[in-house]
Amino acid sequence: MKFNNLSIGYSSTHGLIEIQKDINGSLKRGEFVCLFGPNGAGKSTLLRTISGLQPPLKGEIIINEENLTSLSSNDLARQLAIVLTERPSVSSMQVKQLIGLGRSPYTGFWGRLMDKDNNVIKRAMELTDTAYLAERYVDSLSDGECQRVMIARALAQETPVIMLDEPTAFLDFPGKAHMMILLRKLAHSENKAILLSTHDLNMAIPFADKLWLVDKNNGIVMGSPEELAQNGYLQQYFSGEGIKFDMDRMEFIIEDSEINNC
C-alpha cells in the first residue's frame, strides 16, 4: 500500500475540515508498523481513511496497484482486513463461526465453507493459538481472547494488509506484550503488512519495524524507532515537563524529580 499527496479530515456544518495534508508514505508486506499521535492530531482519521472507512479529502491510496476508492467492498475485503477495538456484537455465535466469517469475501456472507476455507480457518486458529476456543461462545471470551479471535478472523480473510485500531487498549501488561509479539511474528512469518494504532509508545518501540508519528503542528513522520530516536523526533513529539526519552534504554521515563515532588 502507498499513498500520495494525501489530505485527511472530515465534513462539518462549516464545510470540510482538514486535519493533515500532503501525506506521502507506504506500508510494505513483512513490516509491523505502529501509529501514534495525541488526541485530535488525526491518528484515527488517518487509519479510517487508508482503511477505506472514509474518503480522503485529496490524494490517492494505492493498494496492489489499484486505487482503494475504486474498489468494490468485496474486492477491498480481499486486500485489507480491519480489527476494531470494540468487541463484536455476536453473543450467540461460536468462535469458529466468527472466524469463518473471514471467508465471506470468497464465499459470500451465507456461502458454504469448502475444504479450502476450513483449512484456512484451521491455520488462522493455529497461528493465533485460538483452536481451543473454537466451540466457545464469543460473549464468554476475555478481552485478550477476543482480540486474538478477531485477528484469526482477519487472517482467514487472506489479505496482504491488516489494520488494527488499539487492539491492546483493554489488556493488562502481559496481554499487551503477548499481543505485540504475535503481531510482529505474523507480519514477518506470514509476509503481512500490519498497521496498529496505539497510545502505548513504550510497549511498541521494542517490537515495531517502523513508527508513524502524527502531530498537529509537524505532520506525520515515518521511520524505524532507531532512526526517529537518533533524529530527535521521539523526544520532540512525546517528551514533556518531567518526561524524557532515554536513548540508551529506548524508552520514555519520568524523571525522579517529578516523582519526588508528588
Stated as kind and residue range, the H or E segment containing 74 is helix 73-77
Mean pLDDT, rounded, for 201-225? 92
Provide the domain count of the chain. Answer: 1
Categorize the per-residue pLDDT at 241 as very low, low, confident or very high, splitting at 50, 70 and 90.
low
Q: What is the pLDDT of residues 9-46, one digit of tens each?
A: 988 888 889 999 999 999 999 999 999 988 888 899 99
What is the Cα–Cα distance from 22 to 134, expressed in whole angstroms? Answer: 45
Whether residue 180 contacts residue 207, with contact meaning beta carbons closer than 8 Å, is answered with yes
What is the Cα–Cα distance from 88 to 175, expressed in whole angstroms? Answer: 19
Domain enclosing residue 97, as ranges: 80-158
Concatenate the DSSP letters of all residues of 193-204 into one string. Answer: EEEEE-S-HHHH
Give the global pTM: 0.92
Say which residues have a Cβ less than 8 Å from residue 262's Cβ, sequence separation at least 6: none
128 lies in some domain = yes
Map grid coordinates 513529539 to a residue. 237
165 lies in some domain = no
Whether residue 152 contacts residue 167, with contact meaning beta carbons closer than 8 Å, is answered with no
142 lies in some domain = yes
97 lies in some domain = yes
Say which residues have a Cβ less than 8 Å from residue 152's Cβ, sequence separation at least 6: 99, 102, 121, 124, 125, 127, 128, 130
Map grid coordinates 469458529 to a residue. 96
Whether residue 235 contacts residue 190, with contact meaning beta carbons closer than 8 Å, is answered with no
- Provide the grid cell at 195: 498497521
98 lies in some domain = yes
- Provide the grid cell at 130: 485460538
Three-class secondary structure of residue 221 per DSSP: strand
Say which residues have a Cβ less than 8 Å from residue 221's Cβ, sequence separation at least 6: 212, 213, 215, 228, 233, 237
Output 127 or 217, whichever has higher pLDDT.
127
Q: What is the pLDDT of residues 45-66, one digit of tens each?
A: 999 999 999 999 999 999 999 9
What is the Cα–Cα distance from 70 to 52, expressed in whole angstroms? Answer: 10
175 lies in some domain = no
Nearest C-alpha neighbor of 182 from the set 168, 170, 172: 168
Output 19 or 249, whichever has higher pLDDT.
19
Candidate from 36-50, 136-150, 195-209, 246-260 with smallest mean pLDDT: 246-260
- Provide the grid cell at 8: 485527511
Share of the chain above pLDDT 70, in %: 96
93 lies in some domain = yes
Candidate from 15-19, 151-155, 162-166, 253-257 with smallest mean pLDDT: 253-257
- Provide the grid cell at 167: 487492539
